[in-house]
Structures are given as C-alpha cells and as structure tokens.
C-alpha cells in the first residue's frame, strides 16, 4: 500500500514534536560523527575545530542529524559580518522545521557575538533551503558559478533578528 506524501510529512512533523531534539555545542570528540553526517560535503571538521572563532552546533536526538557552523565572514573586508559556514540536516529530518530551528540557533550565536549581518552560500538547486532563507528575510545578493553549478549568496541584517 502506497503512502501519500502529505501523510509522510504529517508523520514527520509528529515525529519532530515527539522526539526530544537538542542543540548543543559540537566538541572535538564529535569529529567522527560530523564527518559521517556530512560525508557528501567537503568539510574538514578537524580544521573547523582548530579555529577558536568557528562555533559549531549539533542537532541530535539519539544521534546527530544536523549541524550549523558560524564564524566571522571569510572575506576580511566585510566588517561586522558573520557567515554560516555549514548548515546541514540529514534528509530524513527535512521539511519539518528542524533545519530552520538549527539555522536560527546559528544566527542567534552571530547576533550574540555582535555581528550586524549574516551571510550564507547555498547551491542554486537547494530549493528547500532557499525557502527557509526567504522565510527568515534573507535577501539573495549574488550568483557565483562553481564548476557545473551555481552558488547563491544570501544576506540578512541581524539588527531586527530577535
């Protein structure tokens, strides 16, 4: 018997409400879990943890299913700008608000660290991520070709964020 997609989404939303979801600061001993979780990305977690100015947070229930990492913008000409370096959610947990919750946590960290603007690059094909960013009042600023795909740059003022 086939399950209608809306039924699956309802079940996942119900799961998101029932399962205890915690967000905590990632630690050096999380490198292996993070590497497995984000294996499709090109992220060196050892390098991330080597930098004291990168703040990484895990979303987890029984095990990690999402991560957000934030820091000062990689372009040193951008004063008071923070950057979301990594924002990843396991596909099983998408489309139920958990990615938004994780990103909001990262943005809150940037705001607490007195950054005025947040920026994030995402693949042009990441439609669900784009919807979340637009919902949080990010503005698409730039398109950058990268190999056979494009990256989109989104910015948001943090002055009115919470």
pLDDT tens digit sequence for 8-59:
444 555 555 545 679 999 999 999 999 999 999 989 999 999 999 999 999 9
Helix pair 127-135, 98-112: axis angle to 10 deg = 50
Rounded to whole angstroms, the Cα distance separating 16 from 91 reads 13
Largest separation between any pair of C-alpha atoms in the chain = 57
Rounded to whole angstroms, the Cα distance separating 147 from 151 reads 10
Residues 57/25, Cβ–Cβ less than 8 Å: yes
Lowest mean pLDDT among 16-25, 57-66, 122-131, 149-158: 16-25
Q: According to the model, what pLDDT value does residue 17 have? A: 53
**Domain ranges within the chain, ordered by starting residue:** 21-157
**CA distance readout (Å), 126 to 31, 58, 108, 123, 133:** 25, 21, 23, 5, 11
Q: Decide if pLDDT at 130 tops 70.
A: yes
Q: According to the model, what pLDDT value does residue 19 have? A: 55
Name the architecture of domain 21-157.
Answer: 3-Layer(aba) Sandwich (3.40)
Sign of torsion, CA 24 81 160 155? Answer: negative
Task: Name the average pLDDT for the chain.
Answer: 89
């Amino acid at each position: 018997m086939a399950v209608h997609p809306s039924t699956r989404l309802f079940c996942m939303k119900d799961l998101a409400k029932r399962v205890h979801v915690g967000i905590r600061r990632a630690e050096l001993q999380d490198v292996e879990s993070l590497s497995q979780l984000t294996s499709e990305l090109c992220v060196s977690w050892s390098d991330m943890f080597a930098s004291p100015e990168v703040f990484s947070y895990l979303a987890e229930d029984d095990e990690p299913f999402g991560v957000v990492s934030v820091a000062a913008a990689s372009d040193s000409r951008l004063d008071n700008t923070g950057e979301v370096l990594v924002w990843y959610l396991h596909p099983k947990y998408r489309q139920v608000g958990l990615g938004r919750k994780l990103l909001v946590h990262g943005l809150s960290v940037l705001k607490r660290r007195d950054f005025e603007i947040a920026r994030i690059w995402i693949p042009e094909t990441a439609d669900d991520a784009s919807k979340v960013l637009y919902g949080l009042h990010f503005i698409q600023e730039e398109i950058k070709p990268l190999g056979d795909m494009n990256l989109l740059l989104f910015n948001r003022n943090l002055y009115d964020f919470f």
